Structure 1
Amino acid sequence: MNNKLPLVSLVCILLKFSNVECIVGGHTAIPNAAPYMVSIQNPTHICGGVLVANNWVLTTASCVFGKSNLKVLANSHRLLTNMERVGASVSVVHPQYNAASGINNVALLKLDRPAVSTQNSVIGLNDAVVISGAPTAFYGWGSLVYGSAAKSNELQTLYQKTLSAADCAKKYQNNGGLISGYICAHIQPGQAACSKDQGGPLVDYRSGKLIGIYDHGILCSGNYPDVFVDVAAFKSWIQTTMST
Structure 2
Amino acid sequence: MSIFFDHTDANARIIGGTEVAAGTHPHMVALIVGVSVKNFICGGSLLTQRTVLTAAHCVDNVYGINWVIRSARVAVGSTRWDSGTDYSILRNVTHPDYNRCIVKNDISVLITATNVVLNSLVQPVALTYEHIDAGVPSIVAGWGVTKAGEYTMSEVLIELPTTTIGNKDCVSRVSEAAIQKGYLVYVDPSLEICTFHSPGFGVCSGDSGSALRRADNGKQFGIASWGFLCALGHPDVFVRISAYESWLKTVIIKKLFCQLLIPFPTSEDDMSIFFEHTDVNARVVGGTQAAVGSHPHMVALSFGADVKSFLCGASLITQRTVLTAAHCIDVVHGENGLIDSFRVSVGSNQWNSGTEYTVAYNMTHPDYDFWTIKHDIGIVVTSTNVVLNNLVQTVPVTYDYIGGGVAAILAGWGRIRAGGSLSRELLELRTNTLDGADCMIRAARASITLNMAYAPGVDPHVEVCAFHSAGFGACNGDSGSALRRADNGHQFGIVSWGFPCALGAPDMYVRISSYQIWLRSVIV
Per the shorter chain, which TM-score range?
A: 0.7 to 0.9
1:36 matches 2:59: no
Structure-2 separation of matches of 1:132 and 1:29: 26
CA contact (8 A) 1:48 1:140 kept: yes
Structure-2 separation of matches of 1:221 and 1:45: 21
Structure-1 separation of matches of 2:161 and 2:232: 12
Structure-1 separation of matches of 2:78 and 2:15: 24
CA contact (8 A) 2:56 2:95 kept: yes
TM-score (norm 1): 0.85
Q: 1:108: Cα distance to partner?
A: 0.3
Q: What amino acid is aligned across from residue 51 of structure 1 in structure 2?
A: L
Secondary structure, aligned partner of 1:149: coil
Q: What 5-or-longer segments of structure 1 have no aligned partner?
A: 1-22
- For residue 53 of structure 2, the aligned residue among 48, 58, 74 is 58
Deviation string, structure 1 residues 124-175 (Cα, Å, up to 9, x no partner): 1111111111111100001101121211111000110012333311222322
RMSD of aligned C-alpha atoms? 1.8
- For residue 123 of structure 1, the aligned residue among 125, 129, 134 is 125
Deviation string, structure 1 residues 44-87 (Cα, Å, up to 9, x no partner): 21000011111100001100026222200011111232x43101
* 1:1-244 alignment, distance < 5 Å: 25-43=16-34, 44-65=39-60, 67=63, 68-69=69-70, 70-81=72-83, 83-117=84-118, 121-174=123-176, 175=178, 176-179=185-188, 180-244=190-254
Secondary structure, aligned partner of 1:85: strand
In percent, how many aligned pairs have the same letter? 30
CA contact (8 A) 1:136 1:161 kept: yes
Structure-2 separation of matches of 1:61 and 1:214: 11
Q: What amino acid is aligned across from residue 30 of structure 1 in structure 2?
A: A
TM-score (norm 2): 0.41
**Greater Rg, structure 1 or structure 2?**
2
CA contact (8 A) 1:41 1:47 kept: yes
Structure-1 separation of matches of 2:128 and 2:228: 26
Deviating beyond 4 angstroms after TM superposition, the runs of 4 or more aligned structure 1 residues are: none
Structure-1 separation of matches of 2:249 and 2:40: 26
Q: 1:113: Cα distance to partner?
A: 1.2
Q: What amino acid is aligned across from residue 42 of structure 2 in structure 1?
A: C
Structure-1 separation of matches of 2:219 and 2:110: 20
Q: What amino acid is aligned across from residue 207 of structure 2 in structure 1?
A: D
Q: 1:24: Cα distance to partner?
A: 6.7
- Corresponding residue of 1:14: none
Q: 1:118: Cα distance to partner?
A: 6.2
Structure-1 separation of matches of 2:42 and 2:105: 17
Q: 1:117: Cα distance to partner?
A: 2.5
CA contact (8 A) 1:73 1:85 kept: yes
Deviation string, structure 1 residues 207-229 (Cα, Å, up to 9, x no partner): 21101110112121241111000
Secondary structure, aligned partner of 2:85: coil
Structure-1 separation of matches of 2:167 and 2:24: 27
Secondary structure, aligned partner of 1:63: helix
Structure-1 separation of matches of 2:30 and 2:248: 19
Structure-2 separation of matches of 1:24 and 1:46: 18
CA contact (8 A) 1:132 1:167 kept: no
